[in-house]
Structure 1
Amino acid sequence: MYRIVFLFVLTLAASTPAFAQVQGQVIKVLSYNIHHGENMQGKLDIQGIATVILAVNPDLVALQEVDSSTSRVNKADQLKELAAITGMYVYFGKAMEYDGGGFGNGILSRYPIEKTQSIALPAKGEGSEPRNAAMVTVKLPGDSLLRFVSAHLDHLDDPADRLAQVNIILQHTLAQPAVPLIVAGDMNALPASKEIGILKQHFTDATEKLGPTWPADKPEQKIDYVFLYNKTHWHVMSSQVLEETVASDHRPVIAEVLLK
């Protein structure tokens, strides 16, 4: 999806109002923890996830809890299946070996993927599991570049691992401030948490005004986000939590943003 829009911003002059024209590209971003394709009825249904994605027609999709060829999903390559259905480019960042296959984060993109990287995130807490952030660099129309990250942070009550994971993500992403960046995913942290506070020191939270995202049937906690960097590159046009209660145990979040 490639759209150029013009924003007209009212500015105050000494006597009469003037309109400043801002040109940019609209990008629709979806973040979705898909619970390895298992829906709220306990059934594997990757088609249900695909249906959600197709319904909103995003440009970039950050997926968490994705299985690749594990026994629990009958050896299916879930990202390849989603790519085949949606017609999007795909990247899988494996966080760990699991059940005869892999488990991690995925990315779907309307734009060609130029570079890929799987960023290992520290997990030292008792009961923690390996986590990662999948990062791609995509080529936008006009040959400009955009970095996009799908992240899944630690789930434990103790925030120590999440704080360390946030710092690793910052180390890997903020070194190229000239290249626009989107970080989306399941942060397993509430808006008032220290982890989110650190991210918001550097990023614009495109989902700041949204309500809870988990659990899907009766959401009580907001733990899914879309963050934008560098702040001067972006304008948030709209965002929402999709009222999807069955396909996964998380509700997906979507943000429509303007890259200036």
Structure 2
Amino acid sequence: MIKVASYNIHKGIGLDRRRDPARILEVLREIDADVVALQEADRRFGAKAGVIPLHALEEHSPWKPISFGMRASSMGWHGNVLLVRKDAVVLDSEAIHLPALEPRGAVMADVRVRGTAIRVVGMHLDLSGLSRRRQAHAILTHVEACVERRPTVMMGDLNEWSAAGGCLRDFGKDYAFAPTDPSFHVRRPIARLDRIMVSRDFTVMECGAHHSAASRKASDHLPIWAVLEPA
């Protein structure tokens, strides 16, 4: 079984308005997932450097970031980062450019985790419903065009407030949603903005939103997680 998680870390800024990457790592260690998709993992201005220092990951976590070769100071692409356990094998990785008025992107990687090769897509979609649907179409088209098929998990902050409409309808044609709990706003979670979606060759064994003292302070979103069984 493979445990995955998705977390909008709000640029590392918690409810106390302090930027604290160590607190984000504490939450991730509590979840202890094999693969993690982060959103808003870059600073907003300047060189848009990654919020979590590389040395902190190397010294204080079991994960390594997947490189997409886009910005030297950022781990990922437009704030999207994929982390995998240090013993995982990265088979391929690429950034996905998304149509948007403001900078948006998604990231995709093929990794071998616990002996199984899987495809992982991390994303943070637009606030506009029309743009979200265009972005969902771009991601689905990109994945569909891959020559090699693999069990696939897509996860991230979809910014979709509806229960089943909008981009959820687009993703739901070929992917099943893990029934995770509401993740936003962390003070009183009522919205399932964060989602984990899996191809039909995955079975969701367990899933949820991660509630802890640290996760209720570290960001404005709760992280979500799922335990998956490949077919």
**Does the TM-score normalized on the shorter chain lie above 0.5?**
yes
CA deviation after TM superposition for structure 1 residue 83, in Å = 2.6
Note if 1:234 corresponds to 2:207: no
CA spacing shift, 1:137–1:170, aligned 2, 3 Å: same
The normalised TM-score by structure 2 is: 0.86
Number of residue pairs aligned between Structure 1 and Structure 2: 220
Instruction: Give the percent of matched residue pairs that are identical in Structure 1 and Structure 2.
Output: 28
Q: Which range is displaced more, 54-63 or 77-86?
A: 77-86
Query: Which residue of structure 1 aligns with residue 57 of structure 2?
Result: 83
Distance 1:40 1:242, change over 3 A: same
**Whole-angstrom CA distance in 2 between matches of 1:40 and 1:218:** 13
Q: Who is 2:38 aligned against?
A: 63
**Consecutive aligned runs of 4 or more in structure 1 exceeding 6 Å deviation:** 94-98
1:206-221 pair list within 5 angstroms:
206=178, 208=179, 210-221=180-191
SS of 1:258's partner is strand
Residue in 2 that maps onto 1:15: none
Could you list the per-position Cα deviations for residues 67-104 of structure 1 after superposition, in whole angstroms to 9, with x for gaps in the alignment? Answer: 1695598x665262553221312125589999xxx842
TM-score (ref. length: structure 1): 0.77
- 1:44-71 per-residue CA deviation (whole Å, 9 max, x = no partner) reads 1111110011012100000000116955
| Unaligned ranges ≥5, structure 2 | none
Partner of 1:8: none
One-letter amino acid of the counterpart of residue 136, structure 2: V
Match of 1:18 in 2: none
Q: Is the 8 A contact 1:69 1:76 kept in 2?
A: no
Task: State which structure, 1 or 2, has the greater radius of gyration over its C-alpha atoms.
Answer: 1
Residue aligned with 2:66, SS: strand
1:104 correspondence with 2:72? no
CA distance 1:69–1:166, change in 2 (3 Å): closer
- Larger strand percent: 1
Give structure 1 stretches of 5+ with no counterpart.
Answer: 1-25
Letter aligned with residue 27 of structure 1: I
Cα separation, 2, equivalents of 1:33 and 1:225: 11
Aligned residue for 1:117? 94
Q: 5 Å matches for 1:64-213?
A: 64-67=39-42, 78=52, 80-81=54-55, 83-84=57-58, 85-91=60-66, 103-110=78-85, 111-124=88-101, 129-142=102-115, 144-156=116-128, 159-176=129-146, 178-190=149-161, 191-206=163-178, 208=179, 210-213=180-183
CA RMSD of aligned residues (A): 2.6
Distance 1:80 1:160 in 2: 36
| Larger RCO: 1 or 2 (CA < 8 Å, sep 6+) | 2
Instruction: Assess if the C-alpha contact under 8 Å between 1:234 and 1:258 holds in 2.
Output: yes
* Structure 2 letter corresponding to 1:198: D
